[in-house]
Amino acid sequence: MFRIVLISALAAIAVEATPRNRAGVPQLDGRIVGGEDTQIEDYPHQISLQYLDTHTCGGSIIARNLILTAAHCTADYGVYFLSIRYGSSIMEKGGFVLKVGEKYVHPSYDAFTTDYDLSILKLSGNIELSSKAQIIKLVPSLTPEGGRHAFVTGWGALYMDGPYPQQLQVAKVHEEDRDACGEVYPGKITDRMICFKAAGKDSCQGDSGGPLVSGDAQIGVVSWGRGCADARYPGVYSHINNAELRKYIVKHIDLYATN
């Protein structure tokens, strides 16, 4: 999330709730906090978004040539700097690498509020589907909010400003009531956001753009939060079932997805 977790009073807000960062690359969430090692075969939709061949964010396979990630992972970077690694449990090793050909940052993305934090990447070639690389379904459009548990995956920091793991991590988190989340982040939770948390577990810097999955469908994209795994502050995810965000994703799948 800006986690990779996300100027007077505005500067203070930016410090407390910002995309999660890594020196020299986009401000993204680091790693999964409180998670455990997992294998790419268990989460074959997961990819590593690379900036100058270095992991910087997560993402998910939504078509053989399309990746869903966060806008804050891609907005400030030319596609010639970006590539994805897929089919590997290990950060920056194994699997296959494809260059990004085009990027489609949601036109309403706001870098200050992190609203509409969604980006779609069109690859220069097609992903070879296998047990280690699979397309993730989007959450069904009529799925209600509330009471869900989900799994978040990534290679982000193990704790705030901590080291990054080599092995893919996974953590189980639970949906936070929208009103309760809004009380923790006054005035910052929009209809394009959902909140999840769990004791001692969270996404962090380097996890930004990665998938939040419930059942067999993706329901969110790691976006932002205050710190990593702070019990008081849920992680905030782009809400795939929001009508505006869903329409944007489906539109690009219809336009650009290859069979």
| Cα distance between residue 243 and residue 223, in whole Å | 18
The SS3 assignment for 182 reads: helix
Beta bridge partners of 118: none
Q: Which residues contact 157 (CB under 8 A, 6 or more apart)?
A: 20, 29, 30, 31, 33, 163, 164, 204, 205, 206, 207, 228
Give first-to-last CA distance, the chain, whole Å: 30
User: 72, 106, 239, 252: which is the annotated catalytic residue?
Assistant: 72
Active site residue 203: no
User: 48, 60, 83, 117: which is the annotated catalytic residue?
Assistant: 117
Asked if 158 and 37 count as a contact pair (C-beta separation under 8 A), the reply is: no
User: 208, 223, 239, 252: which is the annotated catalytic residue?
Assistant: 208
Active site residue 208: yes
Active site residue 53: no
| Cα distance between residue 145 and residue 79, in whole Å | 34
Asked if 82 and 25 count as a contact pair (C-beta separation under 8 A), the reply is: no
Q: Where in the sequence numbering do the catalytic residues fall?
A: 72, 117, 208
